[in-house]
Structure formats: C-alpha cells, structure tokens
A and B are shown apart, each in its own frame.
Chain A
Amino acid sequence: MNAWFSVFTALVAVIALVLLAMLGVETIGLKSIFGVIIPYVAFVIFFVGVAYRIIGWAKVPVPFRIPTTGGQGKSLPWIKASYTDAPWTTLGVILRMALEVLLFRSLFRNTKAEVREGPRITYASAQWLWLAGILFHYSFLTIILRHARFFFENVPSFVEMLSSVDGFFQILVPTLFLSDLAFLAAVTYLFLRRVVLPQMRYISLPADYFPLFLIGGIGISGVLMRQVWKVDLLKVKELTMGWFTFHPVVPEGLGTIFYVHVFLVSCLLAYIPFSKIMHMGGVFLSPTRNLANVNRSERYVNPWNYPVKVHTYDEYEDEFREKMKEAGIPVDKE
C-alpha cells in the first residue's frame, strides 16, 4: 500500500471522528449519548476486550523455554554471569522484565557506544527512538494520573503533587503542563519519524498512523480545552463522578470541545483491544524475556509433547551389522 495513502486514510478517519462528535453534540444535540452512553460502552469494550486478549494469550501454552540471552549465562562459579540479561533466578527475570517495561532496556541497546571512525559523524536515530518512547509513555502516564482529580471526591495528595511539579514552570496562564508539551512533542516525533525515514514509511500501515493521530487528537483537544476554549472543571467533575456512581447527569454548558475529547478517548479505549496498542499487555508474556536461562539445570515440560517416529538403534544395527562387525565396532546382537 502506498505510504501516503496510509497516512491519508488514518488522518481522514480521525478527522471524521472529530466531526462526528461535533455534529452529534452541536447539531443534533445528542449530549447524553456522547457524554454517557458512548463512554460507558467504550469502557466495557476496553475492559472486556483487554481481558479477553490477555486471557487468550495466557491460554496458549509455552512449549519450550526460549529466552534470548543478552549476556553471559550462569555456568562455572568463577565466570561472571549477567544477572539481568541472562537471568537464572526469578528475581533476575523480574528485574529483566522491569528494566524492559520501565526503561525499555532492549531499545536502549541501540545507543550503546559505537566505535567511531574516520571523519564521519555517527547518527543516533535509534537513541532518539528510545528517548521519544520514554517521553511518550511517561508523559502519557503522568497525564492519566493527573486526570485522577476527576475521579476522586477528594483529590489524592500525590495527584496534587504531580500536578504542581508538572506545572512547575508556570508557562502561560492557566499553567501549561510539561507533560502536555512532552507528550505532543513525542507524538509529533514518532509521527515524523514514520513519514521521513523511508524504511519506516515502507513498513508503516494505516494501523500505525491511526492511533498516533487519535492520541495526538486527544492531546490537542485536551490542551485546547485548558488553554483556549476553557471548560468548567467543576461541571466536568460532576459528570465524571456521575459515571462512577452510576447516576450520570450531563451538566449544561460543557463546550463541544469537551465532547470531542471524551469521544476520542472513548474511541481509543474501544480500539485498544483490537490493535497493536495491546503490546503493553503482551510484553509481560513474551517467552524470550520472561523465562530464566536455566535450560540445562531445570526441567521444563511441554504440555503437548507427543511421541514421534524415530529411527531406533536396533533398526540402525540391523542395517549395518555386518559392516560394523567387519570394522571391529561392538554390536548388540551377534
């Protein structure tokens, strides 16, 4: 598929979603549908879908222990083994997974100091990928945590703290959060990388651009709601708390931008179980990372191991017995 066509389709899809929300709320006035029903449906799809996918993976057996060893394995006592890259204990595996999940260890390998030669400079695009990945995921997490203020009657203190650190620089009024900036920058980088690098453009599908645009749209609508078309936060909280108590009431006077934001988030939630965003669950189950390199010291059972046709020694000796005797090789049956 042509690369630009992929970008275009994904963009059109996201714009259509935005227009749909605007149309639905402003023209037809379906506020309760966009403010209550769709978010509920999205949540249900998200939870059921994610659980279904993860259970689906977990149900499939892991027949063999196949860790990728990223360092010296445990062998003789005087040889220094790599505790997290070729782990041989459960703790080692947990650390390896933690490094993988929290710090993107494998992606970071790209940045390992390289021998630089000659007058040429060394490009470090892989390094940027790691950085953008970290920025993207952590700012996303921060933003989600900040949203906790809408879901608790009394805002938890860590959320307050997070918000004040995040808004430390007090750029603009109301404060523009650092995480918002980092988030939008990272999304932009991840998008540009896909369209600018030919090999990335070549491998990218609409399914790669769509979530980027969707998430970008969520970010932008969120920032707009804060900085430009300001929305009454108390009313927002009234709605969100209503969701939780199962008595949702749609307050009057919430701007369309709010519904666009909520609709895009709902779309994202509903889309996650069907998409590559499931990688967040999958990484924990990956057999090359979550198994210890104890292949020769501990038994590993394949639940579907079945007998196969082999060529036995007896069959072998039957075929070659005379020759073996001639050559002085001991045989079982004379």
Chain B
Amino acid sequence: MSQTLEHLLLKKRSAILKRWLDLIFDTYPADGRSFFASRRNRIANPVGGAIVDGVDKLFDWLMQGEKSDVRDICVFLDNIVRIRAVQEFSASHSIGFVFFLKHAIRETLDSELRKEQLHEDLLTFESKIDSLALLAFDNYSQCREQLHQIRAAEIRNRTSRLLERACQKYGMPSEW
C-alpha cells in the first residue's frame, strides 16, 4: 500500500468506520438498528458491542499490510460472523458486511481518490478486503456446521444414559 493511501485511510479512519457501521446496522429492522447502534454497555447490548469493537479491529488489521497475521483477526471476525450466522440473514447477507467497507471507503474518500489518482493502490487494498471476506465465508460455514453438530449432540445427550444403559444391559459395544 502506498504511503498516500495509507495516510488517507488513517486520516479518515473514523469517518470510514462510522459509514461502515451505519451500513452494517442498516441491515437490521429500524427498531433493532437504533438499539444496536446505541452506546449501551456490552452486557445490555452485546450485538452492537461486538460489531463496533469488531469493525475497529478488522480495520486495524487491514491497515497492517504485509505483516498482518490471519490468526490475529479471526477472533474479531468470528465475533461478528457468529452473531449474523444465527440472525435472520441468508449466507451472503451474513458475510456481506465485509464488502460494505469497500463502499464506505469509496464514498468517504471519493474526491481524494480521484485527485491523487490512487485507484491502483485502492485495488491492492481492496483485494485484502476480499481475502477478509473469504475468511468470513470460512467462518460462516464453520458456524453453521457447528449448529448441526450441536443438534446432533443434543439429540444424543438427551438420552445418553438410556443408550449407554441399554448397551450395557444387552452386551452391545458402548461406543458406536
């Protein structure tokens, strides 16, 4: 990433993040939107808290350039994706929020990007956003997969003792 773009992104960081957050919160029903966006504490408003924190960290990670390690960001990505995976969204909508950052940047930095001819740099930066989206996709699949595991585990757990006892009683192998 060139110095100029990096500089610009840092300079306009809060404006970009605000726009990004607005776009994310806009995916919720009007009433939920304002509640999530309210600055209540994280215990009273856990969804909003996770998104606000997460967006912050994701942006910082993207700014780290070459040095950034995927593992650093997984937790924060997960905090958001995990929530959206069980809300009223389709798969694309669940992880689509990552792409909203592109939109937020283009919108916020529109005139500067034109003036400074930074489109190529922006492309580089955006491909990093793309990889973030791919990570989010993996993450989303994991979450859904986990829900299926939970379903299976629940059904097993609910009668685990009965089954174990039956196996014991009728001399069946207890693990199958």
Nearest to A125 among chain B residues (CB) is B38
Interface residues of A in 73-129 (CB under 8 A from B): 114-118, 120-123, 125
**B69 near A: Cβ within 8 Å?**
no
Q: Measured between C-beta atoms, what is the minimum distance from B92 to chain A in Å? A: 26
The 8 A CB mask of A185-205 against B (1 = contact, 0 = none) is 000000000000111001000
Is B148 on the interface with A (CB-CB < 8 A)? no
Indicate whether B33 reaches chain A with its CB closer than 8 angstroms: yes
Give the nearest-CB partner of A3 in chain B. Answer: B30
Q: Quick check: A122 and B43 within 8 Å, CB to CB?
A: no
CB distance from B166 to the nearest CB of A (A): 15
Tell me which residues across on chain B come within 8 A of A199, comparing CB atoms. 30-32, 34-35
Residues of B contacting A122 in the complex (Cβ-Cβ under 8 angstroms) = 39-41
Number of A-B residue pairs, CB cutoff 8 Å, is: 34
**Is A116 a contact of B41 with CB atoms below 8 Å?**
yes
Pair A114/B39 contact, Cβ less than 8 Å: no
Contacts of B32 in A (CB 8 A): 199
Sort chain A's interface into a size bin.
10 to 19
Specify the chain B residue showing the minimal Cβ separation from A121: B39
In the assembled complex, the CB of B134 is this many whole angstroms from the nearest CB of chain A, namely 29
Which of B31, B41, B44 is within 8 Å of A198, CB to CB? Answer: B31
Shortest CB distance A84–B (Å): 24
Look across to chain A and name the residue whose beta carbon is closest to the beta carbon of B44.
Answer: A114
Contacts of B112 in A (CB 8 A): none
> Does any Cβ of A come within 8 Å of B42's Cβ?
yes
Q: Does B53 contact A (CB under 8 A)?
A: yes
B106-128 contacts to A, CB under 8 A, are none
Residue among A115, A117, A199, A202 with the most chain B CB within 10 A?
A199
Distance of A118 Cα from B31 Cα, bound (Å)? 25
- B1-36 Cβ-contact flags toward A at 8 Å (1 or 0): 000000000000000000000000000001111110
Report the separation of the CA atoms of residues A117 and B42 in the bound assembly, to the nearest whole angstrom: 7
Against B, the Cβ 8 Å flags (1 = close, 0 = not) of A298-310 are 0000000000000
| Chain A residue contacts of B39, Cβ below 8 A | 120-123
- Give Cα distance in the complex from A199 to B31, angstroms: 4
Say whether A115 contacts B43, CB under 8 Å: yes
- The reply to whether A117 and B33 contact each other, CB–CB distance below 8 Å, is no
Distance of A122 Cα from B44 Cα, bound (Å): 10
**CB of B52 within 8 Å of the partner chain:** yes
User: Can you report 18 A-B residue pairs in the complex whose CB atoms are below 8 A from each other?
Assistant: A114-B40, A114-B43, A115-B41, A115-B43, A116-B41, A117-B42, A118-B53, A120-B39, A120-B41, A122-B40, A122-B41, A123-B38, A197-B34, A198-B33, A198-B34, A199-B31, A199-B32, A202-B30
- Which residues of B approach A to under 8 Å, CB–CB? 30-35, 38-44, 52-53
Please name the 9 residue pairs, one residue from A and one from B, whose CB atoms are nearest each other, closest first.
A199-B31, A198-B34, A198-B30, A114-B41, A202-B31, A123-B39, A120-B39, A198-B31, A123-B38
